[in-house]
Structure 1
Amino acid sequence: MSANAPRGGQSADEMIAEARKAFFVMFGFLAFVWAVQLANWSGGYALSRDFGVVSGDLTALPDIVTAPFLHWSWAHIESNSGPLFIFGFLAAYRGVVRFLGLSLLVAVTSGLAVWFFERGGADTVGASGLVFGYLGYVVVRGLFDRHLIDTLIGIVMAASFAYLLTIAVPGTPGISWLGHLGGLIGGLVGAWLFRDRRPRRDRPASAPPALAEGPRADLHKELGDLGLL
């Protein structure tokens, strides 16, 4: 294995290739969501009425996987698109296949939270559950994978977007906080389920022998990977 390969087995070239795939996956995903919105708008939002999640309605239970692609207005989709792309890309750049599994998990946990606990028969749609799921995943992924760069990214994202948590609690009119909370929980669970289980590689050749062992060996290994040792 190359000495400059990050822990987990990916070389720098492989990481760049995955990041490129992640960019195009998220670009394609957003393009699809906007195309669906155009069709939904032209039909008077019939798609949102027919394929949204309605709590306690057994016929609506399969719609937990379609609801994230639908929105109620142009303002609704615009508010979701930026965070969806940012967090989606950060969640996907370590592996698109793992990202697809995470997306399904988050859609299910977000949809089930609405289906079980929402009151009033509201028809819930929107990608915000995915946004919160990706955010939760990105914030804690580095801790489970023990990866320095991802941990730092998680800290920055948590500090920059902590205000989003204010709409994941009860009391915001017209907002499905249950869908947000369910998505966030799905992202946190996904970070553990999809954590990197591959064995650690040997220390980088560039790392000083004295740093190869000890309580901070993992940190030193990461710094060596980054060329900081």
Structure 2
Amino acid sequence: MKSAHPRKTRTERPTFLYLLDLVLLAWVIEAVDQFLLGGWLDRFGIHPRNPYGLIGIPLMPWLHGGFAHLSSNTLPFLTLGYIMIKSEGRRFFYSSAVIILLGGIGTWLIAGPGEVHIGASGLIYGYFGYVMTRAIIESRPLWLFTGILVALFYGSMLFGVIPSKDLPISWQGHLTGMLAGIWLGRRHKGMRSA
């Protein structure tokens, strides 16, 4: 006899293909923005301390200042995003949303007025902060090994959180994204992939 209640199915675990889909989406958005809209979409980034600018918090990772900007974010997003998928499993999208939200609010609060902040680097810095925090506070060899590899390949990212008026980067987005990742990494200490 069949049960009256359907069996609950678990959400499918994200894979590397999910990351490729997200990158493809970002490239399509940038192509439309550059070739059809002349960069018009960039106005929907984060405008600090402007209520209108809050809409940029969920949009910031999808908007870039050209193909060079997007290219520089693509490989670190795929690399660090893959580590996040392996460590977070089904929590990946939730964890990414938390980093985007907290990093975006932080950028909105501390960045200078009149600026517009766009790009996926805040999320990437969040992944970096998460991975390095878990590597430092976990007692498992796999996390330590992962942290060493990430530090070797991406340790120079730390220079991106230093305030700079000479470089056209959102150091505020980098800093607040990384702090969001550190906070999340501490909260997920000891958690296994879902």
* TM-score computed with the length of structure 1 as normaliser: 0.72
Alignment of 1:5-24 (within 5 A): 21-24=14-17
The Cα of 1:144 is off from its aligned counterpart by 4.4
Please tell me the residue identity of whatever aligns with 2:115: A
Secondary structure, aligned partner of 2:87: coil
Aligned counterpart for 2:103 among listed residues 91, 100, 110? 110
Unaligned runs of 5+ in 2: 1-11
> Using a 3 Å threshold, how does the CA distance of structure 1 residues 96 and 29 change in structure 2: closer, same or farther?
farther
Q: How many Å separate the matches in 1 of 2:114 and 2:101?
A: 19
Percentage of pairs with the same residue: 27
Secondary structure, aligned partner of 1:34: helix
Please tell me the residue identity of whatever aligns with 1:126: G
Contact persistence 2:84–2:127 (CA under 8 A): yes
The Cα of 1:145 is off from its aligned counterpart by 4.7
The Cα of 1:98 is off from its aligned counterpart by 1.6
Contact persistence 1:80–1:128 (CA under 8 A): yes
Please tell me the residue identity of whatever aligns with 2:151: A
Alignment of 1:73-88 (within 5 A): 73-88=66-81
| Alignment match, 2:140 | 147
Provide Cα deviations, 1:151-172, integer angstroms capped at 9, x if missing partner. 2101221132211111111115
Please tell me the residue identity of whatever aligns with 1:29: L
1:67 aligns with 2:60: yes
Larger Rg: 1
Provide Cα deviations, 1:168-196, integer angstroms capped at 9, x if missing partner. 11115211101000010111111122334
Alignment: residue pair count:
179
Q: How many Å separate the matches in 2 of 1:165 and 1:29?
A: 25
Runs of 4+ in 1 over 4 A off after TM superposition: none
Contact persistence 1:77–1:126 (CA under 8 A): yes
Q: How many Å separate the matches in 2 of 1:73 and 1:81?
A: 13
Contact persistence 2:47–2:113 (CA under 8 A): no
Please tell me the residue identity of whatever aligns with 1:86: T
1:25 aligns with 2:18: yes
The Cα of 1:149 is off from its aligned counterpart by 0.7
**Aligned alpha-carbon RMSD (Å):** 1.8
Secondary structure, aligned partner of 1:124: coil
1:48 aligns with 2:57: no
The Cα of 1:69 is off from its aligned counterpart by 0.7
1:189 aligns with 2:170: no
Unaligned runs of 5+ in 1: 1-16, 199-229
Q: How many Å separate the matches in 2 of 1:95 and 1:173?
A: 33
| Alignment match, 1:97 | 90
The Cα of 1:143 is off from its aligned counterpart by 4.4
Contact persistence 2:49–2:113 (CA under 8 A): no
Please tell me the residue identity of whatever aligns with 1:69: W
Aligned counterpart for 1:125 among listed residues 101, 113, 118? 118
The Cα of 1:94 is off from its aligned counterpart by 2.6
Q: How many Å separate the matches in 2 of 1:74 and 1:197?
A: 37
Contact persistence 1:109–1:182 (CA under 8 A): yes
